[in-house]
Amino acid sequence: MDESKKSYHHGDLRKALIQEALKVVEKEGIEAVTMRALGQATGVSRTAAYRHFENKIDLLCAVAEEGFIIIGERYQNIMDQAADDGLASLETLGRGYVAFAMDYPNLFRLMFGSELAGHARTDALRAVVDKSMASFVHTVLQCQEQGTIQQGNPLALTSILWAGMHGLATLLVDGQLQTDEQAHGVPILTTDKVGTTQKNSQKVLDLMVGAILRGLAPTSA
Amino acid sequence: MDESKKSYHHGDLRKALIQEALKVVEKEGIEAVTMRALGQATGVSRTAAYRHFENKIDLLCAVAEEGFIIIGERYQNIMDQAADDGLASLETLGRGYVAFAMDYPNLFRLMFGSELAGHARTDALRAVVDKSMASFVHTVLQCQEQGTIQQGNPLALTSILWAGMHGLATLLVDGQLQTDEQAHGVPILTTDKVGTTQKNSQKVLDLMVGAILRGLAPTSA
DNA sequence: ATGAGAAGTTGGCTTTGTCTACTTTGCTTG
DNA sequence: CAAGCAAAGTAGACAAAGCCAACTTCTCAT
């Protein structure tokens, strides 16, 4: 089982292809992923990938899957700590969602963008998606028990929370939330650049988390 | 200026191409748009489009622009009515955003998806985006004056509102909010299919609008 | 009327996904 | 241990699609 065996058969081409694709997605964008280049980068021929994936979509599904696994691990870590305060966990989960998007913008795009939407997803992909969502649902339930979130269908409430975070993440990743200096003289939000920028997006994130959690709080009256 | 002049020169190819592309986007998806087919459908040759658009991205930008014009018109209609109650307007705007996404799912994807993200947007596109956003900002300001929304940077608050609606719209359009019968026995939300489905997504929309507006309400204490 | 430039055409190049038929290799089974 | 079979990999080819270049046809302003 030598690592450097350059024989006819690659050790684990499937995994190698996914890793390479993952790298390309983040560094050069989803569009830059080509079956041929993937083959070349992993030292095999252009069509070798077809022995492991039905087609390109199938391969991209596997890459997206990897993304959900990463998210899932992050969520697991969050759940492992501070298991007593549900609301705090929920806030951390929400922030973690946006943080993931900022850490892996292109991967995030792949996971939720229109490249895969419409196409039939792999069962494996569906599974990891459900698994990562489970943390949210579980924590919402916990909050309901602790009376920090209103009663009602926990899945619906989770959807609200998810949608809010997802919207913010999406707009941030796509650079659609920008400085509106030209419009009102008030810099508000921007993904690109640095410094104050970072602070601004952080501020909007704070606002968002606060608003959503306040919006889902028990109706006091 | 006869309509049926099949001469060498097309009347207004640029507009015809955009309209055709718009049709294809909605009926067959963004991927189905090809320069060649567009030419054929409008009765010109494969490369005629390049006399009016630098490249495919440029053309798609023009299509997206059309989408923002439609949204802008809808917003204008909303603003024209019920101009006195800011909060009601805001709610209607939010619902209108999601409604638009459901009415033109593929166009919505084009407008906000990753096809155009990253690529330089046309100035014209940027302009209509800003214009459509202005309705939101204006209404948020109105609400702040009427004391129905908390004080603070109106652009930031608008971002929150927008992000919430955008997240919901995105997830709905991509069919990512589904019945989770398998997970918890409680059907929650689904885009596909009919009937109860529609009701469910309506219910989540209600929840979302309520939660966001409550979350942005003035801090009573 | 005329010539410049806009609008449109054909041919061709390149990239990329993917099919088909072939080869190589490792593992299993008699 | 030989035989062979299936898995893994390869080369060739084809079609779709973006887009460049060189050419043609019109329209319109001077």
Q: Chain C: nucleotides under 7 Å from a protein CB? A: 6-12, 15-20, 24-26
> Cβ contact (<8 Å) for A180 and B215?
no
Q: What is the pLDDT of residue B23?
A: 98
Instruction: Give the one of A118, A130, A156 whose C-beta lies nearest to B183's C-beta.
Output: A130
Q: What is the pLDDT of residue A117?
A: 81
What share of residues in chain B are helix, strand, coil (percent, to 5)?
70, 0, 30
pTM summary value: 0.90
Q: What pLDDT is stored for residue B221 in this prediction?
A: 53
- The C-alpha angle B136, B139, B145, rounded to 5 degrees, equals 145
Say what the pLDDT of residue A70 is: 97
Quick one: closest CA in A to B208, which residue?
A160
| A113 Rama class: left (phi>0) / alpha (psi -120 to 50) / beta | beta
CA of A113 to C1' of D16 (A): 24
Contact A113 B118 (CB under 8 A): no
Q: What's the CA–C1' distance between B39 and D28, in Å?
A: 26
**A interface test, pick of B57, B108, B140, B170 with most A CB neighbours within 10 Å:** B170
Chain A residue nearest residue B120, CA to CA: A175
Which of B30, B117, B183 comes nearest A174 by C-beta?
Answer: B117
Contact list in B for residue A115 (CB cut-off 8 A) is 114
Structure tokens belonging to residue A191? 């993904």
CA distance B52 to B74: 28
Low-confidence ranges of chain B (pLDDT < 50): 1-5, 179-195
- pLDDT score for B9: 76
What is residue B179's predicted lDDT score, i.e. its pLDDT?
Answer: 46
Interface probe with B: pick from A170, A172, A181, A209, most Cβ of B within 10 Å: A170
Phi-psi region of A159 (alpha: psi -120 to 50; beta: other; left: phi over 0): alpha
Tell me the one-letter amino acid at A82: A
Per-residue pLDDT, B197: 57
Q: How far is A151 from chain B (nearest CA, A)?
A: 12
Q: Where are the alpha helices (DSSP H) in B29-55?
A: 35-41
Nearest by CB to A186, from B155, B173, B180: name it.
B155
C1' nearest to CA of A48: which nucleotide?
D9
SS3 state of residue A194? coil
Subunit contact B162:A184, Cβ cutoff 8 A = no
Closest nucleotide to B48: CA versus each C1': C8
Question: Which of B166, B210, B214 lies nearest to residue A170, judging by beta carbons?
Answer: B166
* Nearest-CB residue to A166 (from B152, B171, B186): B171
Q: Tell me the shortest Cα–Cα distance from B177 to chain A, in angstroms.
A: 7
All residues of chain B having their beta carbon less than 8 Å from the beta carbon of residue A216 are 211, 215
CA–CA distance, A56 with A92 (Å, rounded to integer): 35
Burial B19-43 (b: 16+ CB within 10 A, else e): ebbbebbbeebbeebebeebbeebe
Burial of A48 per CB tally in 10 Å (0-12, 13-18, 19+)? middle
Please indicate whether, in this complex, the C-beta atoms of A180 and B155 are within 8 angstroms of each other.
yes
B155 and A189 within 8 Å at the Cβ level: the answer is yes
Q: Show which positions of strand D are touched by protein (CB under 7 A).
A: 7-13, 16-21, 25-27
Nucleotide nearest to A36 (CA to C1'): C16
Q: pLDDT by residue for chain A (221 residues), tens digit each?
A: 333 345 667 779 999 999 999 999 999 999 999 999 999 999 999 999 999 999 999 999 999 999 999 999 999 999 988 778 999 999 999 999 999 999 999 999 999 998 888 777 888 898 999 899 999 999 999 999 999 999 999 989 999 999 999 999 999 998 888 644 434 434 344 333 344 556 677 889 999 999 999 999 998 75
